[in-house]
């Protein structure tokens, strides 16, 4: 999966304006070509080892496990990647592909800023010009990451339209791409968008699951009983899930952001509470109203605050291979504090959703079982948000 | 013969290019759309493109995006667009109306229901920007069955093979996107567009319309020399918004905007025809 035209069942596809059909096809061919080239893979592997710092550890969170009082919890430490999140796995791959295609300029969209930082980082490393689109509201929430991108030499463009968050940044990046297709490579940050993006980003992120599989087997000589990851667009989740899809003994759990609660209308849980529709180049589960207009979403985590989800997740939900649940703002913040205090690891708010769900699941499964939670990023970027919740001004 | 075919046949006989304005349903105000459509026709429009407001119009520029946001804020939805066409048809049974927008509102309404409602309302063609031929396998045949055209775009980035395929698939007319960019972008190169249209004519006998980047009488006249239809959106939408803000009747402003374009296009063609006649004598 996907099929030759980029469909995962009824999901995926290439729902873009005619101007982008040419560039999307050019990218598909370039990626197919690169995929067959051992040197492309070798270069990515070298970069992941030397620049990103892979492999990341699989860490037994013993104090958290003991506190939760159930299954043993392991953390896949993507927070230890260079730039502090899994996002860099993907940007390394796409930036190397951009250079291979002879595109000197890369653009990206970002919500929490992690994908923007990762794009700016690899652009600096490879000598590419970088422009990052970011919702004005997200820029306010993620000031430090905005400065970080600028330090790395990227131009950060505030997006004032719509809800001024991730989806609007995506719209703006697509507009830039339409206007500058000749010299520009669009680095999409998640497993969404027109084919081949969902497949390509998944391939680049699958290193997470491949390592997890090997590490679990060498440490415990078995596979985990469950794997848990948060889902906004869903790239860290598909990255850790994908190498386990054929292992039926491994339960896979995706965790969406329930914001104030999925019944309140103020959330970002498109798989749990949305319906199939078309946005940003693919058919997938979406948060849209009864007239087909996209709804403004809410999550305390800017990285999960997106009204859609990658099409492969939509397909995995419908065929039942992955269970999708949700965690609200309050429970995510509790988990954020819990992990910080018990393990000395401050997680990203995105990852805190997975931690909260993982704690529930550990209790449900009970002792003698192993759960891996993907710790997709570190929480430095979220200091202001969490402090503000407690009325503290930094 | 469909309204679109009939209109193009008449224009061809008269040696004229079609003038096709785009307006967003419900902008500058919900009750202004039908009057604007009639005013455009009185001032020389041959066909009207009616925008269906969408929250995330990725292929449109800032002007049309803002118009869509205003229309949505005023409560305009897909049903209102269909209603505007119904009301327009009370007085005008001849001018073709094309709906232009994005797929999601159509899918959420249900494509079967949408096609039936559009046909009943008197719509002649539908252009969904994010639904290229590859993803139109369900909707295109449904529209065709109901006697509606599915209009497809061809862009400067469209490969020769795709041009041939779209030329075969399309009905009504082919919409050529004159530049790489979103609606309302500048920098149209008339000579390059003329060359592309010549190439496109090898693949299809359908009329060829040109849009994106046409902002005034001068560019309209230049494009009208070689295109079968001249499509103008952003600058009209901007003008209507400005008129409403200044307290001017938007329908009146629409007429004022359209008339000089009509004259410029016909004038340029007239000069062309006169020259040919002289050469023949």
Structure-token pair, residue A90: 């993907």
Question: Which is it for the CA torsion A230, A235, A239, A242, positive or negative?
Answer: positive
- Mind listing the pLDDT tens digit for each residue in B163-179? 999 999 999 999 999 98
User: Which residues of chain A have a CB within 8 Å of the CB of B58?
Assistant: 17, 170-171, 174-175, 280
CA distance A32 to A29: 5
Task: Please give the average per-residue pLDDT across A100-114, as a whole number.
Answer: 95
* Average model confidence (pLDDT) across chain A: 96
Confidence of residue B188 (pLDDT cuts 50, 70, 90): confident
Percent of chain B with pLDDT over 70: 96
Confidence of residue B269 (pLDDT cuts 50, 70, 90): confident
Predicted TM-score (pTM) of the model is: 0.95
- Asked if the model's pLDDT at residue B181 lies above 90, the reply is no
B106, A288: Cβ pair inside 8 Å?
no
Are the C-beta atoms of B166 and A30 separated by less than 8 Å?
Answer: no
* Residue A301: active-site member: no
Q: Which of A328, A324, A308 is nearest to A261 (CA)?
A: A328
B155, A21: Cβ pair inside 8 Å?
yes
pLDDT of residue B273: 62
- Mind listing the pLDDT tens digit for each residue in A253-311? 999 999 999 999 899 999 999 999 999 999 999 999 999 999 989 999 988 989 999 99
Percent of chain A with pLDDT over 90: 90
CA distances from B10 to A350, B6, B15, B18, B281 (A): 61, 6, 9, 10, 26
pLDDT of residue B280: 56
- Asked if the model's pLDDT at residue B281 lies above 70, the reply is no
B54, B55, B210: which to substitute to probe chain A, counting the most A Cβ within 10 Å? B55
Q: Rg of chain B's alpha carbons, rounded to an integer?
A: 18
Are the C-beta atoms of A172 and B60 separated by less than 8 Å?
Answer: no
Residue of A nearest to B161 (CA): A22
Determine which helix (DSSP H) or strand (DSSP E) holds A24, and give its type and residue range.
helix A18-35
Are the C-beta atoms of B57 and B127 separated by less than 8 Å?
Answer: no
Structure-token pair, residue A166: 């991730």
Q: Which of A170, A208, A185 is nearest to A123 (CA)?
A: A185
CA distance A111 to A300: 12
B157, A21: Cβ pair inside 8 Å?
yes
- Asked if the model's pLDDT at residue B37 lies above 80, the reply is yes
- Asked if the model's pLDDT at residue B278 lies above 70, the reply is no
CA distance A290 to A288: 7
Confidence of residue A165 (pLDDT cuts 50, 70, 90): confident
* Residue A103: active-site member: no
CA distances from B95 to A30, A152, B91 (A): 46, 56, 10
Q: How many CB atoms lie within 10 A of CB A252?
A: 21
Confidence of residue A140 (pLDDT cuts 50, 70, 90): confident
| C-alpha triplet B59, B62, B65: angle, nearest 5° | 65
Q: Which of A107, A193, A19 is nearest to B182 (CA)?
A: A19
Determine which helix (DSSP H) or strand (DSSP E) holds A120, and give its type and residue range.
helix A114-126
3-state secondary structure of B27: coil
Longest dimension (CA), chain A: 57
In this structure, chain B runs to a length of 281
Give ipTM to 2 decimals. Answer: 0.94
CA distance A323 to B225: 60
pLDDT of residue A249: 98
Are the C-beta atoms of A122 and A214 separated by less than 8 Å?
Answer: no
**Minimal CA separation from B88 to chain A, in Å:** 22
Smallest Cβ distance to B132: which of A16, A179, A182? A16
Q: State the angle between helix axes of B190-201 and B160-169 in degrees (0 to 180), rounded to the nearest 10.
A: 60
Confidence of residue B277 (pLDDT cuts 50, 70, 90): low
User: Which residues of chain B have a CB within 8 Å of the CB of A17?
Assistant: 58-59, 129-130, 132, 153, 155, 177
User: Which residues of chain A have a CB within 8 Å of the CB of B162?
Assistant: 21-22
pLDDT of residue B276: 58
- Asked if the model's pLDDT at residue B279 lies above 80, the reply is no
Q: Which of A224, A232, A239 is nearest to A372 (CA)?
A: A224
The active-site residue out of A163, A272, A299, A376 is: A376
The active-site residue out of B27, B46, B49, B266 is: B49
User: Which residues of chain A have a CB within 8 Å of the CB of B155?
Assistant: 17-19, 21-22
B181, A178: Cβ pair inside 8 Å?
yes
User: Which residues of chain A have a CB within 8 Å of the CB of B184?
Assistant: none
Residue of A nearest to B160 (CA): A22
Partners of A129 in the β-ladder: A105
- Asked if the model's pLDDT at residue B183 lies above 80, the reply is no
A13, B129: Cβ pair inside 8 Å?
no
| C-alpha triplet A122, B59, B133: angle, nearest 5° | 105
Dump the DSSP string for A42-55: HHHHHHIIIII-PS
């Amino acid at each position: 999966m996907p099929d030759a035209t980029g469909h995962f069942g009824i999901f995926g596809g290439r729902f873009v304006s005619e101007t982008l059909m040419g560039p999307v096809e050019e990218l598909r061919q370039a990626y197919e070509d690169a995929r067959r080239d051992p040197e492309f893979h070798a270069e990515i592997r070298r970069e992941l080892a030397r620049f990103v710092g892979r492999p990341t550890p699989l860490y037994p969170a013993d104090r958290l496990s003991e506190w939760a009082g159930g299954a043993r919890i392991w953390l896949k430490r993507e927070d230890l990647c260079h730039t502090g999140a899994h996002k860099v796995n993907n940007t390394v791959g796409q930036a190397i592909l951009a250079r291979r295609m002879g595109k000197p300029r890369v653009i990206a969209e970002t919500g929490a800023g992690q994908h923007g930082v990762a794009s700016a980082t690899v652009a600096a490393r490879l000598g590419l010009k970088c422009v990052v689109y970011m919702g004005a509201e997200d820029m306010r929430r993620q000031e430090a990451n905005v400065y970080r991108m600028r330090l790395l030499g990227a131009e950060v463009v505030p997006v004032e339209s719509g809800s001024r968050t991730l989806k609007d940044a995506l719209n703006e990046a697509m507009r830039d791409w339409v206007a500058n297709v000749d010299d520009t490579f669009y680095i999409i940050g998640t497993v969404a968008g027109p084919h081949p993006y969902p497949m390509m980003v998944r391939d680049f992120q699958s290193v997470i699951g491949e390592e997890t599989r090997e590490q679990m087997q060498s440490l415990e000589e078995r596979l985990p009983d469950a794997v848990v990851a948060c889902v906004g667009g869903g790239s860290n989740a598909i990255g850790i899930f994908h190498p386990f899809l054929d292992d039926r003994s491994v339960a896979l759990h995706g965790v969406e952001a329930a914001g104030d609660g999925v019944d309140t209308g103020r959330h970002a849980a498109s798989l749990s509470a949305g319906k199939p529709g078309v946005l940003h180049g693919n058919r997938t589960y979406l948060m849209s109203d009864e007239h087909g207009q996209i709804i403004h979403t809410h999550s305390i985590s800017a990285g999960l605050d997106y009204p859609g989800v990658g099409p492969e997740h939509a397909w995995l939900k419908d065929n039942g291979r992955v269970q999708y649940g949700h965690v609200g703002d309050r429970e995510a913040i509790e988990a954020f504090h819990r992990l910080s205090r018990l393990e000395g690891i401050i997680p990203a708010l995105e990852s805190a959703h997975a931690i909260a769900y993982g704690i529930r699941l550990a209790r449900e499964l009970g002792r003698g079982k192993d759960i891996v939670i993907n710790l997709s990023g570190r929480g430095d970027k979220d200091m202001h948000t969490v402090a503000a919740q407690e009325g503290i001004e930094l | 013969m469909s309204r679109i075919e009939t209109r193009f046949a008449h224009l061809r006989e008269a040696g004229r290019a079609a003038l096709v304005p785009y307006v967003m349903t419900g902008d500058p105000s919900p009750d202004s759309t039908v009057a604007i459509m009639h005013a455009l026709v009185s001032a020389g429009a041959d066909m009207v493109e009616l925008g269906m407001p969408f929250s995330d119009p990725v292929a449109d520029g800032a002007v049309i995006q803002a118009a869509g946001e205003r229309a949505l804020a005023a409560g305009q939805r897909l049903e209102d667009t269909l209603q505007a066409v119904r009301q327009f048809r009370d007085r005008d049974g001849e001018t073709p109306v094309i709906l232009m927008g994005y797929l999601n509102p159509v899918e959420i309404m249900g494509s079967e229901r949408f096609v039936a409602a559009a046909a009943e309302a008197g719509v002649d063609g539908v252009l969904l920007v994010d639904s290229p031929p590859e993803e139109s396998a369900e909707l295109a045949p449904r529209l065709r069955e109901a006697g509606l055209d599915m209009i497809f775009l061809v862009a400067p980035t469209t490969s020769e093979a795709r041009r041939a395929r779209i030329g075969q698939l399309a009905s009504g007319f082919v919409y050529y996107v004159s530049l790489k960019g979103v609606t309302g972008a500048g920098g149209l190169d008339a000579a390059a567009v003329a060359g592309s249209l010549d190439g496109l004519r090898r693949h299809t006998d359908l009329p060829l319309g040109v849009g994106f980047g046409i902002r005034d009488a001068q560019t309209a006249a230049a494009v009208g020399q070689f295109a079968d239809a001249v499509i103008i959106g952003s600058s009209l939408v901007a003008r209507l918004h400005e008129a409403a803000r200044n307290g001017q009747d938007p329908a009146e402003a629409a007429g004022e905007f359209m008339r000089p374009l009509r004259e410029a296009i016909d004038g340029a063609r007239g000069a062309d025809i006169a020259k040919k006649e002289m050469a023949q004598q």
